[in-house]
Amino acid sequence: MALLDSITSPADVRRLSRTQVAQLTDEIRAFLVESVSRTGGHLGPNLGVVELTVALHRTFDSPRDTMVFDTGHQSYVHKLLTGRTDFSQLRRRGGLSGYPSRSESEHDVVENSHASTALSWADGIAKANQLQGRGHRHVVAVIGDGALTGGMAWEALNNIAAGQDRRLVVVVNDNGRSYDPTIGGLARHLDTLRTTQGYENVLSWGKRTLRRSGPPGRFTYDALHGLKKGIKDVVAPQGMFEDLGLKYVGPVDGHDEQAVEHALRRAKAFGGPVIVHVITEKGRGYTPAEQDVADRFHAVGQIHPETGLPLAPSRFGWTSVFADEIVRIGRRRRDVVAITAAMLQPVGLAPFAAEFPDRVFDVGIAEQHAATSAAGMAFGGLHPVVAVYATFLNRAFDQVLMDVALHKAGVTFVLDRAGLTGDDGASHNGMWDMAMLGIVPGLRLAAPRDEPTMRDALRTAVDVDDAPTVVRYPKGALGDPVPAVEDVDGVDVLARHDATRPGAPSVLVVAVGAMARTALETAELLAAHGLRVTVVDPRWVLPVPAALTKLVGEHDHAVTIEDGLVDGGIGALVAQRSHEVGVRTPVQTIGIPRQFLEHATRDQLVGDLRLRPNDVARDVLSALGRGADGPAEAQ
C-alpha cells in the first residue's frame, strides 16, 4: 500500500503520474476488500467507483469544488483520497461513518444515504455559489442509475437545466443496479446509450453504404434512409438530456481512469450544466462479487476476503418470516400484489416474485410513487403490499396520508428494520414511523413481538380493504416465541406478578413489539421489589385499543416501552387516550428521544438511551418515589 499510505489529501492524488494512478487504483481495491471484509459495509458499490473517484479528485479541487455522492455509501474511495485511511472501526462507534459526514472532513457536505437527493443539493449549492460571488467554483454530483429513478432527481434536473451559466457537473454512475437491477424507462434509455454505436462507426457504415448504392451522385432512397436512421439512433438517446438543456458527455468506460478524467475535464471546461455518463461494474476487481448475480456484495457483514463467504451464517430473521408468509398469503389471495422500491431481495420479496412474477412491481427508488400507485391498485380491486425499510417510508408520508388514507385505500405497508438499526447511522434508524403514522386517520399499525404474532398480523392486515394497514418489525434475528397467558379483549397479557409487599402499587407495563422481552425482564425486576406487575402487548398499537386504556385505569401506574420516538409515540397516545376517557393513572413513556443518533451498535444505542430492563425498572421505581431501593443490578 505504498502509494495509498502516502495520500493525505486530493492534492497528493493530482501529483501522481499515469503509472502511479494505475498502481493506486489497484491498492485501493485491495484495501477495500481487506478492510471491509473485517468490518462489514458497502463493498460492491465502492469497488465499482475506484477509477471514477480518482478521476474526480484529479480533475476537481475539493473542498473548493463541492462533491456530493448519491447515495453516500459509494464514498469509501472518496474518504481514502481525502486522508481517512483508518477503516478499522468503519460504521462502529468512534470510527468512520459508512456515509459522508461533515464531522469527519471538510470534503464531506451531505450525509446522503436516502437516495435521489444529491442533484437538489448540487443545484442549491451552485445557486449559492453564483449569488455569493463563487461562480468560478464547480459542484459535482455523483448519482447512480438506481438513484436517478427517483422523482426528486428529475425535479432537480429540470431546475439544473435552467442555470446555463452555473458550473455543475452531474456524473451518472451507471452500473445497471441499485440493490437490484435498475428497472423502468430510464434503465432502458441508459441501456440504449450503452449499446448504441458511436458516431464514427455509424458514419463509416453510412459512407460504405452510399458507395455501394450506385454511381457517384446517385444515392438511393434506401441508402439515404439507412444513413439517417443510423445517425438518429446515436443522437436520439442522449436527446432526452439535451432536450432539457443539459450537455451530454459519454458514455465513458468508468474503469478507464484516463478516459473518465478526459470526459470530466471536457465537462469542467464547458462552464454550464453537463451530464457525464460513466459505465461501471459493481464489485469490479473482486472475483466473488463479479461472479455474484444476487448482488450479495452490495452490503456485507464480516466475510472471508478470499471467498466472500460470511464468517458466521445468517440467522433466521424477521425478514425471512415475512418472505415466507407473504408467499402463503399470495397462494390464498390472488388479488394480493407486492411493490418494492428497488429492494426486492433486502425486503424479502424475492420468493414471492419467483412464484408470482406478474404480481410484483419494482418501481425503482420511488417510495412516493409506490404509495400512490398502490392506492390506484386498491381502487382497481387489488390489495397491494408495499414492502420498504421503515426509514424510507418517511419519504412517502404525504402519499400515505392524502392518497391512501384519505381515499380509504386497502394498502398494507410492511416496514422492515423498524426501530434502532445502529451501524448505518442517523438516517437509517427506523425510529420515526409510529410517531409519524399516529396522526393518519383510520390507519392501523401492528408491532408483532415474535414469529406467530407477525404471521397473524400480516394475515389480518391484508384482510382490511377500507384503510391503510402497517406491519413493522426490527432488523435482525428472531428470538423464541413469547406466548400470551391471557387475552383481554384483543390485548395479550404476557405475565402477571402478584404483590409481595402490603400496599405496594400496581404497575402496568405495556410492551410495543420487539420490546416485549425488555418489558418482561423489567417486570421481574419490579416484582422483586414487591410490586404487583402486569405485562401486556396490544400487538395492534394504532389506534390505541379501548381494552388497553381500560387496563391502564385498573393500575396505579403505567409504563410504555417502545423502540420509536417517545414524543408523539405510542406511549404518548396511550396517555392521551386514557385521559380522554377519564383515566387518571399516570402513564410513563419510555422510548427514543427526539434526536439524531450517531452510528453505533444497536446494543450500544440501547444502553445510551436507557432502554435496558435495569434502566427502565430503575426509572419506574424513581417515578413511584422508590428510587432509593431500586434494583441492585441497576445501580
Domain ranges of the chain: 47-73+96-279, 318-472, 486-634
Q: Is residue 414 within 8 Å of 455, Cβ to Cβ?
A: no
Rounded mean pLDDT for each run of 10 residues along the chain, 635 residues in total? 88 94 92 86 86 95 94 88 89 85 90 82 91 92 86 87 88 72 54 49 45 47 46 45 76 91 93 90 76 67 71 74 96 96 91 96 91 96 96 94 96 94 79 95 97 97 97 91 95 94 93 95 95 97 97 97 94 96 96 88 88 95 74 41
Residue 125 pairs in a beta bridge with none
Name the CATH topology of 47-73+96-279: Rossmann fold (3.40.50)
Residue 367 among the catalytic residues? yes
- In CATH, the architecture of 318-472 is 3-Layer(aba) Sandwich (3.40)
Angle at 272 between CA 270 and CA 274, to 5 degrees: 80
Question: What pLDDT score was predicted for residue 232?
Answer: 39
Contact 279, 48 (CB under 8 A): no
Task: Give backbone dihedrals phi and psi of 19, rounded to 5 degrees, phi first.
Answer: -65, -40
As a whole number of angstroms, the distance between CA 326 and CA 288 comes to: 31
CA 495 from chain centre, in angstroms, equals: 37
Place of cell 443545484: 123
The structural architecture, per CATH, of the domain 486-634 is: 3-Layer(aba) Sandwich (3.40)
Which amino acids are annotated as binding site for thiamine diphosphate, given as ranges? 73, 113-115, 146-147, 175, 286, 367
Cell numbers found for residue 128: 449559492
Pairing state between β 491-497 and 532-537: antiparallel
pLDDT of residue 602: 86
Which amino acid, 47? L
94: left (phi over 0), alpha (psi -120 to 50) or beta: left
Residue among 261, 325, 367, 562 flagged as catalytic: 367
- Order the strands of the 469-472 sheet from edge to edge: 360-362, 336-340, 383-389, 412-416, 469-472, 444-446, 540-542
How many alpha carbons fall within 13 Å on the CB side of residue 353?
Answer: 15
Mark whether 200 is an active-site residue. no
**By C-alpha distance, which of 64, 62, 66 is closest to 10?**
62
User: Which of 58, 166, 284, 395 does the annotation list as catalytic?
Assistant: 395
Smallest CA-to-CA distance from 21 within 46, 48, 57 is with 57
What percent of the chain lies above the pLDDT cut of 70?
A: 85
616-626 pLDDT tens trace: 999 999 999 87
358-377 exposure pattern, b = at least 16 Cβ within 10 A, e = fewer: ebbbbbbbbbbbbbbbbbeb
Q: Cα angle vertex 123, ends 428, 395, to 5°?
A: 30
Distance of CA 345 to the CA centre of its chain: 13
Tell me whether the CATH fold assigned to 318-472 matches the one assigned to 486-634: yes
What pLDDT sits at residue 407? 96
C-alpha to C-alpha distance for 473 and 414, rounded to whole angstroms:
8
Q: Over 496-561, what HEC string results?
A: EECCCCCCCCEEEEEECHHHHHHHHHHHHHHHCCCCEEEEEECCEEECCCHHHHHHHHCCCEEEEE
Q: Out of 79, 282, 359, 577, which one is annotated catalytic?
A: 282
Residue 540: all three cell numbers together: 395492534
- Which is nearest to 581 in space by CA: 545, 558, 549? 549
List helix spans (H) across 291-345: 318-332
Report the binding-site residues: 73, 113-115, 145-147, 175, 286, 367
Active-site residue, 229 included: no
Q: What is the pLDDT of residue 188?
A: 56
* 617-633 burial: b if 16+ Cβ within 10 Å, else e: bbbbbeebebeeebbee
